Amino acid sequence: MLTSRKPYDAGKLSAVLLFLPPALLLFTVFVVMPIGEAAWYSGFNWNGFGTPKNWIGWDNYRFVFDNKAFGTAFKNNLLIIVVSLLVQLPLALSLALILARAFKGAVMLRMLFFMPYILAEIATGLIFSFVYDGEFGLLAAIYRHFDAQAPHLLASPDTSMLAILLVIVWKYFGFHMMLFIAALQGMDKNLVEAARVDGASRWQILRHIIIPLLRPTIKLSVFFAIIGSLQLFDLIMPLTRGGPADSSHTMVSFLYNFGVMRMRVGFGSAVGVILFVICVTFAFSYKRWFMRDE
């Protein structure tokens, strides 16, 4: 019995020795070392030139939390998460329940709703910056048709985030819709047919059969939505650059504007470390409590 296991163990060990060192090297160089450097630089008042020498300890973290713009950025990230979970995912699931069925035009509609996700974030932002333009954009043309003055959505602190949230829902709901469609098409249809034969209504089938079977996919979709919301950056820059008056910043755009553009590398590194801790804490907690058996 031992001799029969030796070739298997030897082959497994050879595969580990062959594939693990390159992957571990890449992970160390491109993940571990940058994180360690960011943590180190966050202790300095440094502009990125020369060797950091002005050690200030935890002051950069205190400056971050005392900054009102960072508080606004954090709240905006939470708002994006809420909208993603309460609007984007239910919309994606509703469309998936309709488009998972085989009917004429279903494939075309799936591709139509998935196309915004394929479009690059920068291109999406540039397109909607024109759409929202209150003078020459599509919104202005619609308002002129009714002899009304179009609002400048991206130029007002009261409406800039609302305009961005609409773009986020439009951009990403197709991705989650395709996840749900794939899960629905892989579902055992015999359970649904048996429930129909037993006289179950559509709502009962949805609540007691389809949703429980979709639970792993829903958990994965929620994970992607929250992590993506925390890391949102590419849409913000072409739309508002975090303005007006820092009203539409996310944590990543705040890092870029206040850390990179203003050459406050130590301050920006502190923001990066905070964001990293938030993402890692969420990822491990979510895996531990909600995806334990997945």
Q: How far is CA 60 from CA 36, 39, 40, 69, 116, in A?
A: 16, 11, 12, 15, 38
Note the pLDDT tens digit of each residue in 116-175.
999 999 999 999 999 998 888 888 898 888 888 888 899 999 999 999 999 999 999 999
The pLDDT confidence band at residue 10, using thresholds 50, 70 and 90, is: low
The pLDDT confidence band at residue 196, using thresholds 50, 70 and 90, is: confident
Is 220 part of any domain? yes
Number of domains observed in the structure of the chain: 1
* pLDDT surpasses 70 at 279: yes
The pLDDT confidence band at residue 40, using thresholds 50, 70 and 90, is: very high
Residue 100 belongs to a domain with what CATH number?
A: 1.10.3720.10
Question: Rounded distance, CA 272 to CA 274, Å?
Answer: 5
Q: Looking at residues 32-45, what average pLDDT do you find?
A: 91
Any bridge partners for residue 55, and if so which? Answer: 44
> For residue 70, what are the domain limits?
42-289
Is 33 part of any domain? no
ω before 90 within 30° of 0 (cis)? no
Q: How far is CA 24 from CA 28, 35, 36, 167, in A?
A: 6, 15, 16, 38
Is 16 part of any domain? no
Is 192 part of any domain? yes
Note the pLDDT tens digit of each residue in 49-98.
888 889 998 999 999 999 999 999 999 999 999 999 999 999 999 999 99
Q: How far is CA 215 from CA 46, 158, 286, in A?
A: 47, 37, 14
Is 13 part of any domain? no
The pLDDT confidence band at residue 2, using thresholds 50, 70 and 90, is: very low
* pLDDT surpasses 60 at 262: yes
Is 198 part of any domain? yes
Is 72 part of any domain? yes
Question: Rounded distance, CA 290 to CA 294, Å?
Answer: 9
* pLDDT surpasses 70 at 12: yes
Percent of the chain whose pLDDT exceeds 90: 61
Is 26 part of any domain? no
pLDDT of residue 1: 44
Question: Rounded distance, CA 160 to CA 171, Å?
Answer: 17
